[in-house]
Amino acid sequence: MKIKMIFLLGWLLLPALMTAQNASFEGRVIDGEEVPEVVRATQDESFEDKKVVRWRYQKSTGTKGNSYERYIATMKEKKRPLSNARYAPDGELIYYAEYYGARTIPALLKPDLEKNFPNHRPTGGTHIKLYRTKKEYYRIRLKKGSTVTYVFYNRNGNQVDRNQLPSDAEFN
């Protein structure tokens, strides 16, 4: 019976497996000299008060054949937490993300967190600004025992379903 079931499942899934394309991802740390001049110029102009502590390069191809390249600047500003900015190869600033601790979670979000997640402890978050769509989101990390949950909000403090977030930024 098990063999028949496995054979039937294989037969049903075979067409999907044959038409699926492979997704690929490449990411590595790079020297500042490998970053295009136009990207470095945009970085300097946009975040002159922050020091770049690391550059990364990412290239990926999705399952639908769409591909992109990104240059990521990880930055530090005095005693503030790390932040990062992502750029297209032409220097376009795509998004900026700033990390913060549990004590600095925006007051706008606290009522909803207390109401909807009373037994969870906020441990930090990320404020993400998308430059193409001019949208902003907050990603809040919550802990309940050993379980970690992420909750997403828009700039107005309304909770947003993870599946409704735009694809032009990483919300992992």
CATH number, domain with residue 82 = 3.10.450
Query: 44 and 80: one domain?
Result: yes
Judged against a pLDDT cut of 50, whether residue 12 lies above it is answered with: no
Confidence of residue 30 (pLDDT cuts 50, 70, 90): very high
Higher pLDDT, residue 67 or 4 = 67
Strand ranges, E, within the chain = 24-30, 51-61, 67-76, 83-87, 93-101, 121-130, 135-144, 147-154, 159-160
Domain count, the chain: 2
Q: 3-state DSSP call for residue 127?
A: strand
pTM comes to 0.73
Judged against a pLDDT cut of 50, whether residue 148 lies above it is answered with: yes
Which pLDDT score is estimated for 63? 72
Q: What percent of the chain has pLDDT over 70?
A: 82
Query: 28 and 84: one domain?
Result: yes
Last residue of a domain, one of 44, 60, 91: 91
Q: What is the mean pLDDT of residues 64-77?
A: 88
Report which secondary-structure segment, H or E, holds 155: none
Do 155 and 168 touch, CB atoms closer than 8 A?
A: no
Q: What is the mean pLDDT of residues 49-68?
A: 86
Q: What is the mean pLDDT of residues 45-71?
A: 88
Q: What is the mean pLDDT of residues 93-113?
A: 92
Confidence of residue 11 (pLDDT cuts 50, 70, 90): very low
Q: What is the mean pLDDT of residues 106-123?
A: 94
Which pLDDT score is estimated for 79? 75
Confidence of residue 169 (pLDDT cuts 50, 70, 90): low
Last residue of a domain, one of 35, 61, 91: 91
Which pLDDT score is estimated for 88? 95
Burial of 55 per CB tally in 10 Å (0-12, 13-18, 19+): buried
Last residue of a domain, one of 49, 71, 91: 91
Higher pLDDT, residue 25 or 89 = 89
Report which secondary-structure segment, H or E, holds 2: helix 2-19
Which pLDDT score is estimated for 19? 43
Which pLDDT score is estimated for 6? 43
User: Residue 123: which domain range?
Assistant: 95-165
